[in-house]
Structure 1
Amino acid sequence: MKKETLYVKIAKVMEEQIESETLKLGDKLPSIRTIQKLYNVSINTVKQAYLALESKSLIEPRAKSGYFVSKAGRRKFSLPSVAKMKTTTQEKEPEDLISKVFNTLNDQTITQFSLGVTANSMLPIAKLNKGMINAIRRLDNGGTGYEPVQGSVNLRRTLAKWSFVLEGKLGEDDLVTTSGAMNAIFNCLMAVTKPGDTVAIESPVYFGIQQIVKTLGLKAIEIPTHPITGVDLEAIKKVLPRLNACCFISNFSNPLGCLMPDEHKKELVRMLTEYDIPLIEDDLYGNLFFGTERPKPCKYYDEAGIVMWCGSVSKTLAPGYRVGWVAPGKYKEKIIRQKLVQTISTPSLYQEVIADFMENGRYDLHLRTLRSKLYSNCLKYQGAIEAYFPEHTKISQPQGGFMLWLELDKKVDTAELFDQAIKQKISFAPGRMFTQYNQYNNCMRLNFALEWNDKLENDIKRLGRLVKANL
């Protein structure tokens, strides 16, 4: 029996036990080793089963205590639908809608459910400011000089050390620093494609990736994406001969929050290696996991150097620093040449601050605290949406990151709803922004990386009322 089938089977048995209240709210689950011996499977299979249960908020991990049946497990709303594959030419781009949403970002009076950043109160700003002063003192010329094109040696060395999940497969020489993850993705696509080439992307997809694809004159094939397990591998197989590159967020995609299982990652890399198709992997949210351990990226399974692993600290430390990186595999020299032409180098000051914080600033402690807040927020948002939104609302079950994807009744047009919400000082990202086609018009993305308080809950309540008024 396949490993994937085994973990699904184990998860299903436990889900039935929770539903029948054989396992009651607050009960401790058997340990991973106990389940391993009981079913005669690998530790990883049991972990996948527990992760699947956790993603549905049926169970939750507690530090040094194990897994427990979650009090949030009584879920009322279904998961969002999976879109069907479309192969027609793209329709009207949602650029006007994207501009409209972004034009509200500097208004401090608006509750920004649309923004893809964590609240300032969740970031270690005082420590970073202190690090900035230290870096200015330490650097030659106070950080005003050029640095190597490949990027800060300190940052690359620290990143290589921090890539525990890759188990030592990366060294400092394998990395190139960039101006954030978007710049890394842009450079990767530019390095491996030419205008007119075809790229596979998720559906729904982060609108920034969609805009890069268009800017470079590429054609996009949107791959149906499941809200729990990610892109549909069978759909990718059908279009493989037409592809020149793939660009996916394998860990906690934006906007769905889905997590590609290890076996899917391994198979995806195998398939693409066979056809020598590069995979641009955006692992921006990988450190924001709600489970017990950081999921591996596709890069872990890459032996041929086809995976271009991109990341940044924009979601965990400092969005405005624009510190990102890429491990470009066999395309490294091309990326370095492009960077030299575009920017000569990236600012050394911010890279040194981030390197110092990762090395000496208790980055691990900051991440633990941040993950805990985000997971708590996720459950609170889901609870509020179930309380205040219409009964047939569908809602994603993110396993990390900080985005929720809502699917509303077909009668609701979220582009029109956005105009109504802005008048009430509430912003969100309408679903039409996340596709090149005329779909997801009844969907929205909400950011839950905001400080939870009574005002925030009331804003979700008011948004729910607006949705009901549009039925």
Structure 2
Amino acid sequence: MKGEILYQKIAKTIAWQIKTGIWKPGDKLPSLRTISREYGTSLNTAIQAYYELEKEGFILASPKSGYFVNYKPLHLSAPTTTQPKIKYAAEENNDLISEVYRTIEDLSITRLSLGVPEDILLPIAKLNKELVRAMRSLPGSGTRYEDTQGSPKLRKYIARFTYNWNGLLSEDDIVTTSGASHAVSLALSATTQKGDTIAVESPVYFGLLQLANSMGLRVIELPTNPVTGVEPDALKKVLPQIKACILISNFSNPIGSCMPEEHKKAVVKMLADHHIPLIEDDLYGDVFFGNSRPRPCKAFDEEGLVLWCCSVSKTLAPGYRVGWIAPGKFKKEVLRQKNITLISTPPLNQETIANFMENDRYENHLRKLRQELHANSLHFVQSIIDYFPEETRIIHPQGGFMMWVELDKKVDTTELYYQAMQQKISIAPGRMFTLQDQFNNCMRLSYGHQWTPTLEERLKTLGEIIKKSM
């Protein structure tokens, strides 16, 4: 009984420290041995105290990294389920997109708009060594064309890596691409033709909308829950109209949703019953904050109708443009389309990534990246609570590094973009992520940065600009 009372007392003390801000979201707590020593108790009692805190939602255990504050204030509201009009639309906002990315190389700007991790979060020195190694080992130092399907070495490591979600892929199932966008482009080329209609989430990554419009495809945007993703019932209603569906099933860009497994299974079966291909962009699946990687829709594909697209652009080397696709029954057509548009993916970049994937180095890097990004997400949540208007709606990210922010209806985030840029702060206005007139009061923020007092000050400044705009 004494031990039980003591662990509860320790837990209560730490919980009070978290509630009062002594420990802030994202902070790493003392180790179990430190707690045991400071409170003069056994290691088992310290474990029980942390377990109690984890059960109550105050902290989160990160494997091999320790315990982190994960306090969720009760007054935080989630964004509403989106309600786009279920109709074809094509009002692309190219000027706004170009404006947001026009100053991409200006290092004086705090780029909360950019959907890639900051350089300091990436193992650049190690990649440089592997790049030199690749130049020395490849025929012609990597200057020659290679087989259209891509590097066998890289495809082998990709296939092995799918064990994380019980994937049953072999290297022959994989085709390498120049990033995930290229993979999606090949998938659309293999499954649709000009004039066809496709279904997507709403909001959705603007690059997918631009790609669909450039190919002459009609786009139907579907209602999307900020936590559970696209609404299966809404998809069911448009099945007679569509030739393909594109989903970012895990930690969607920009809204951050992650489809539950029962929804993934239902969507895969629903589409298979109607012989409709599913193009799955699983770019963020490896950046999970829970205990295990969420399985993609591809894990439930029995008919070969799911074209699984992925890359290392968001986790390891954005500029290398190394991606891949597991096209299922569409492999022959995907290879034909790749041969037409690209012939060969750059061998040097592929060899560099394949070398880095050896000996679990990629998994070790991902573990550190997930830890950093999860802590960042908690810092961002707390800063938004502290500095943004009370009406602000966000969700606690489950993974990835995008945060969808819904502001008061009076705020126009396109105007907010220009106001914030005067203070060297860049955001991604919500209007970029739809072909319809919606999300004008929303924005996407990226927390793929190293957390610093300067970054917190930038968020505070952004909050002040928002309040003035109201």
TM-score by length of 1: 0.86
SS at match of 1:247: strand
CA contact (8 A) 1:77 1:394 kept: yes
Against the structure 1 CA distance between its residues 264 and 361, is the aligned structure 2 distance closer, same or farther, given a 3 Å change threshold? Answer: closer
- Where do residues 149-160 of structure 1 align in structure 2 (5 Å cutoff)? 149-160=148-159
User: Structure 1 residue 364 and structure 2 residue 370: aligned?
Assistant: no
Give the aligned partner of residue 459 of structure 2. Answer: 460
Give the aligned partner of residue 219 of structure 1. Answer: 218
- Could you tell me how far apart the structure 1 residues matched to 2:295 and 2:92 are? 34
Residue identity in the other structure for 1:83:
T
- Could you tell me how far apart the structure 2 residues matched to 1:99 and 1:375 are? 30
SS at match of 1:433: helix
Give the aligned partner of residue 49 of structure 2. Answer: none
- Could you tell me how far apart the structure 2 residues matched to 1:65 and 1:442 are? 37
SS at match of 2:105: coil
Deviations 1:388-438 (A, max 9, x none): 000100012221000001000111000011111111100010000010001
SS at match of 2:332: helix
Give the aligned partner of residue 444 of structure 1. Answer: 443
- Where do residues 4-83 of structure 1 align in structure 2 (5 Å cutoff)? 60-63=60-63, 71-83=70-82
Against the structure 1 CA distance between its residues 242 and 117, is the aligned structure 2 distance closer, same or farther, given a 3 Å change threshold? Answer: same
CA contact (8 A) 2:92 2:210 kept: no
Shift of 1:361: 6.2
- Could you tell me how far apart the structure 2 residues matched to 1:402 and 1:65 are? 19
Give the aligned partner of residue 431 of structure 1. Answer: 430
SS at match of 1:325: strand
CA contact (8 A) 1:91 1:438 kept: no
CA contact (8 A) 1:265 1:298 kept: yes
Aligned length: 423
Shift of 1:277: 0.4
Shift of 1:72: 1.5
CA contact (8 A) 2:86 2:222 kept: no
SS at match of 1:86: coil
Shift of 1:224: 0.8
TM-score by length of 2: 0.87
- Could you tell me how far apart the structure 1 residues matched to 2:408 and 2:238 are? 31
Give the aligned partner of residue 40 of structure 1. Answer: none
CA contact (8 A) 1:306 1:330 kept: yes
- Could you tell me how far apart the structure 2 residues matched to 1:430 and 1:64 are? 37
SS at match of 1:246: strand
- Could you tell me how far apart the structure 2 residues matched to 1:168 and 1:91 are? 36
Against the structure 1 CA distance between its residues 241 and 88, is the aligned structure 2 distance closer, same or farther, given a 3 Å change threshold? Answer: closer
SS at match of 2:377: helix
Give the aligned partner of residue 421 of structure 1. Answer: 420
Q: Give 5+ residue unaligned stretches, structure 1.
A: 1-20, 27-53
Against the structure 1 CA distance between its residues 60 and 236, is the aligned structure 2 distance closer, same or farther, given a 3 Å change threshold? Answer: same
CA contact (8 A) 1:256 1:396 kept: no
CA contact (8 A) 2:378 2:396 kept: no
- Could you tell me how far apart the structure 1 residues matched to 2:15 and 2:237 are? 44
SS at match of 1:395: coil
- Could you tell me how far apart the structure 1 residues matched to 2:228 and 2:453 are? 33
Q: Give 5+ residue unaligned stretches, structure 2.
A: 1-11, 19-53
- Where do residues 77-96 of structure 1 align in structure 2 (5 Å cutoff)? 77-90=76-89, 92-96=91-95
RMSD, aligned CA = 2.1
Shift of 1:98: 0.3
User: Structure 1 residue 402 and structure 2 residue 401: aligned?
Assistant: yes
Against the structure 1 CA distance between its residues 410 and 169, is the aligned structure 2 distance closer, same or farther, given a 3 Å change threshold? Answer: same
Shift of 1:66: 11
Deviations 1:4-43 (A, max 9, x none): xxxxxxxxxxxxxxxxx9x9678xxxxxxxxxxxxxxxxx
Give the aligned partner of residue 332 of structure 1. Answer: 331
- Where do residues 123-162 of structure 1 align in structure 2 (5 Å cutoff)? 123-162=122-161
- Could you tell me how far apart the structure 2 residues matched to 1:107 and 1:163 are? 37
Give the aligned partner of residue 30 of structure 1. Answer: none
- Where do residues 172-187 of structure 1 align in structure 2 (5 Å cutoff)? 172-187=171-186
SS at match of 2:89: coil
User: Structure 1 residue 194 and structure 2 residue 193: aligned?
Assistant: yes
